[in-house]
Amino acid sequence: MSVYLPQVIHCPYCQTLIQIDAPECPACRLSYPRTSALVGALPRLNPMVADTTGHLRGADVNRLKKQILKIQRRFPQLVLQVVMHRFSSEHPFSMHAFWLFNAAAIAGEGKRGRKNHALMVVIDPFRMDSAIVPGYGLEPLLRPDALNHLLELSGPAFESKNWEMGLNLLLDGLEGLLESVSIVNEGVKYGENEF
């Protein structure tokens, strides 16, 4: 079975389909540099679990870090980051999640494109919005409907402001999803212009 990486993505601002290598969205003209100018400076992110909102206690953060380390030991190419941050309501949440994932470069500077096996869970507890952003190397394996299902499962805990429980459910689900797609597949094909 061959898996092909998508050659088109949705613009994180207007949701128009655009070519993966397009320098900007043809509909709204959004580009990564414009996004950075719109949203400002990158928040300081602690490794693995960054909560700039203060909603997680220190013990919660430590337990979540242990859970992330366990997952990363099972999947050594994976870099997993959880971010709780208050984003401006002036722009769509999807744009903030896209920008944060790319600006933070959690996979490392040398791990771009298909070498990017990072996953970022982004939560804004004030907007009550969340997203799971996979690196380009994981996109053909972690389909948006499966990631959205995990967010739906953790949704009731997030709605009741039980952030640690919601994140535990989400991380358990991610681990199961990663296990289900971790079979060796030599048939994965990448786009012609993949960097």
Instruction: Return d(Cα 178, Cα 60) in angstroms, integer.
Output: 23
- Inter-CA distances, 27 with 32, 100, 172, Å: 15, 22, 38
* pLDDT attached to residue 189: 54
Q: CB 39: neighbour CB atoms within 10 A? A: 19
42 closest CA partner among 86, 100, 119: 100
pTM score = 0.83
Domain boundary assignment for the chain: 43-186
pLDDT digits (tens, 9 = 90+) for 98-128: 889 988 888 887 677 677 889 999 999 999 9
Q: Could you tell me what percent of the chain has a pLDDT over 70? A: 88
**How buried is residue 158: exposed, middle or buried, by Cβ count under 10 Å (0-12/13-18/19+)?**
buried
Residues (pLDDT < 70) of the chain are 1-8, 110, 113, 183-195
pLDDT digits (tens, 9 = 90+) for 133-150: 998 888 888 888 999 999
- Determine the topology of domain 43-186 in CATH: Diaminopimelate Epimerase; Chain A, domain 1 (3.10.310)
Are 52 and 85 contacting, i.e. CB atoms less than 8 angstroms apart? Answer: yes
* pLDDT attached to residue 59: 96
Residue type, 57: R
Beta strands at 118-124 and 129-134: parallel, antiparallel or unpaired = antiparallel
